[in-house]
Amino acid sequence: MRKALAVIWAAALVGCTSAVALEPIPGSITYNGQPRSRLAKAPAGSPVSHQFQGQDGRQYHETYIIQPDRSLKLVDRYAVDIPID
C-alpha cells in the first residue's frame, strides 16, 4: 500500500513540475523580451510583482522570479475584472 501511495505521489509531483510555462501578453515586463536593466540587488529566487491594465480592460497581476542569470521568469498571472458603474 505504501509503495502504491509513493508512486501516486511521485506522479502527482511530476505533473506539477511539467506545467506549461506562461507566455507574456502585451503589458507584461517580458513581452518584448527581457528588460535591458537588470535587478542587481535582489537575490536570485526573489519574487517581483507587476500590475497593469490589459488591452481588454482587465487588471492583470503577474509574479516573476529572478533567475540566477538576473533574467525574469513569469510564474503566475491572474486577471481582475474592473466593475463598470
List, edge to edge, every strand of the sheet that includes 59-66. Answer: 47-53, 59-66, 72-80
Q: d(Cα 13, Cα 46) in Å, to the nearest integer?
A: 23
- Distance, in Å, from the CA atom of 85 to the CA atom of 83, rounded to the nearest integer, reads 6
- For the chain, the domain total comes to 1
Residue 48 forms part of a structural domain: yes
pLDDT in tens, 30-80: 999 998 887 788 899 999 999 999 998 899 999 999 999 999 999 999 998
pLDDT for the residue numbered 3: 57
pTM over 0.75: no
Q: Is residue 29 part of a domain?
A: yes
Whether residue 4 is contained in a domain is answered as no
> What is the predicted pLDDT for the residue at 38?
77
Question: Dihedral, CA atoms, 53, 58, 64, 70, nearest 10 degrees?
Answer: -30
pLDDT of res. 64: 97
28 located within any domain: yes
Q: Which domain holds residue 85?
A: 23-85
* Domain annotation covers residue 6: no
